[in-house]
Amino acid sequence: MALQDEGKFVEWIPLQNDIKLKSELVNCSTNNKLIFKFDVEDLKCVKKLSYPPTPPQLVFILKSGTTCPALHFHDGGTSLIISKLENYLPLERTYAGHQDS
């Protein structure tokens, strides 16, 4: 789960069999949730951002240039998601200031 503005939580669930990014606001009982999904093969990079004291966040950027909404994680969640992605994609670590050639 990721903390969103105003103390609301967003549940992040990996989805399969969808190629395009889709985003929609869903009313599930008393909670509003933003759902987006994309094919991991369309992923260009994942940016890990950290602005203490807020929790670390991940931003997924697709090959098309589309930037997905930032996901906020607590208690090592960013590292866990990245390690799970490494099961499906080769990931290379770069650091701030790195530019693609």
CATH code, domain with 60: 2.30.29
pLDDT at residue 43, as a whole number: 86
Per DSSP, helices labelled H in 1-101 are 77-85
pLDDT at residue 64, as a whole number: 92
Q: Which domain holds residue 33?
A: 2-85
CB of 76 within 8 A of CB of 56? no
**What is the mean predicted confidence (pLDDT) over 75-98?**
79
Q: How far apart (Å, rounded) are the C-alpha atoms in residues 90 and 101?
A: 19
Assess if residue 41 is contained within a domain.
yes
pLDDT at residue 89, as a whole number: 80
Assess if residue 13 is contained within a domain.
yes
How many domains is the chain built from? 1
**What is the mean predicted confidence (pLDDT) over 15-24?**
49
Assess if residue 98 is contained within a domain.
no
Assess if residue 34 is contained within a domain.
yes
Assess if residue 47 is contained within a domain.
yes
CA-wise closest residue to 3 among 80, 60, 78, 82: 78
Cα–Cα distances in Å, from 5 out to 10, 32, 34, 81?
A: 10, 12, 13, 21
